[in-house]
Amino acid sequence: MTQVFNFSAGPAVLPSEVLRQVQAELLDWHGSGMSVMEMSHRGIEFGQILSEAEADLRALMAIPDNYKVLFLQGGAMLQFSMLPLNFAQTDSTIDFVHTGHWSKGAIAEAKRYAKVNIVASSEDKNFSYVPEESTWQRTPDAAYLHYCSNETIGGVEFNHIPQSDGVPLICDMSSNILSRPIDVSQFAVIYAGAQKNIGPSGVALSIVREDMLGKARSDIPTLMNYKTFADNGSMYNTPPTFGIYVAGLVFKWLLKNGGLAVMEQKNIAKANVLYSAIDASNGFYHCPVALANRSRMNIPFTLADSNLDKEFLAGAEARHLLQLKGHRSVGGMRASIYNAMPLEGCQALAAYMNEFAKTKG
């Protein structure tokens, strides 16, 4: 098999060790004679897979006991609707920090169910930074404050956790969860789609502080109520069993490789390789994001001469550096370098960038 480096923003690269284990166990999981895909979600085998996945995630993130870990479906985006339905009433105000595409999606959905206050927005500079927290115009009795810790398309990442100030803090961590240690106890809810840094698409994760449960409006659909999943161990109905199984293997891979503190150091080193290549290119490449908010996970960059974009991408592909085309809304390139991207992938891309700039610059 050709060695490739896959820079997709999501669904994204998974650890090759994990994929090999999936392959080895695909037809016969641990001598059961069954594939995980064929097992009853109520059987002891899948019960073990689910409880280990939860226990391993709790260990990795040091999740306190008063938080529920929920495995859901519908992606991160269904939670854009679930959050206001669970945690706000029609006349309550939800505070949002608006830092780009995914913030915008969460805001649009919340507006359908409650009042929305944008505490700060970086739209004035094309969503290239995180507005200084001291400038935020907050609602003292907001139902919650929502932010996106890493804007996957813009490549803008928070480098700190905002103050809660007595308001529940809710965070969309879809594209940087598990990339560094975080203090879960500062949040009311953390949620993420799986397909960036957790596992295959089809699973979504939510970590919910117990005191948040039971606040939902009465007309909420049963399957959009976090309490339904909390009360039934994520098994009110059939969960995405195969995706949970693969996510569980990713958690084990992370634990085996030193956990999130080690992952953070690796991610810093990986991101530095690419940002250095951009910064050392004398303007041939450009990253529009403010220095303090440069993402460690998604690195957008443009070529000074966008006429060269096609040639850059073709050359990258010839070197097995895949899926580097930027999001259609911003153009240029984007290198997504989640946990499963090895340092060698970033080095190979940086080497190619240097070479391309030398021949074309």
Residues annotated as binding site for L-glutamate? 42
Site for ligand PLP in 132-151 (CB under 6 A): 148
Q: Which is nearer to ligand PLP, 206 or 281 (CB)?
A: 206
Preceding peptide of 11 cis, ω within 30° = yes
Beta strands 115-121 and 5-6, pairing class:
unpaired
Does 191 bind ligand PLP (CB under 6 A)? Our answer is no
Two structure tokens written together for 104: 């915008």
**Nearest residue (CB) to ligand PLP, 148 versus 263:** 148
Q: Which stretch binds ligand PLP (CB under 6 A): 90-98, 168-176, 258-266, 312-320?
A: 168-176
- What gap in Å lies between CA 130 and CA 119, rounded to an integer? 12
The residue range among 41-49, 156-164, 170-178, 323-331 that interacts with ligand PLP, by the rule CB under 6 A, is 170-178
User: Which of residues 49, 60, 72, 75 is near ligand PLP by CB under 6 A?
Assistant: 75
* Longest CA–CA separation in the chain, Å: 64
State how far the Cα of 197 lies from the Cα of 339, in Å rounded to an integer. Answer: 6
Our answer to whether residue 256 is catalytic in this structure is no
Residue 102 interacts with ligand PLP (CB under 6 A): yes or no? yes
172 is a contact residue toward ligand PLP (CB under 6 A): yes
3-state secondary structure of 112: coil
Tokens of 156: 């803008």
In the bound state with ligand PLP, the residue whose beta carbon lies nearer, of 281 and 298, is 298
Nearer to ligand PLP, 67 or 102 (CB): 102
**Residue 45 to residue 240: CA distance in whole angstroms:** 15
Binding of residue 94 to ligand PLP (CB under 6 A) = no
Q: What is the DSSP letter of 147?
A: E
253 a catalytic residue? no
Would residue 172 show up in a list of annotated catalytic residues for this protein? yes
Q: Which position among 102, 253, 270, 325 bears the catalytic label? A: 102
Is there binding between residue 76 and ligand PLP (CB under 6 A)?
Answer: yes
Q: Give CA–CA dist 218/202, Å, rounded.
A: 27
The Cα–Cα gap between 58 and 259 comes to 12
The one among 152, 179, 295, 323 contacting ligand PLP by CB under 6 A: 152
Sequential DSSP letters for 274-291: HHHHHHTTTTSEE--S-G
Q: Answer whether 110's CB lies under 8 Å from 116's CB.
A: yes
**Which residues here bind ligand PLP, judged by CB under 6 A?**
10, 75-77, 102, 148, 152, 172, 174-175, 193, 196
Among all residues, which ones are annotated catalytic? Answer: 102, 172, 196
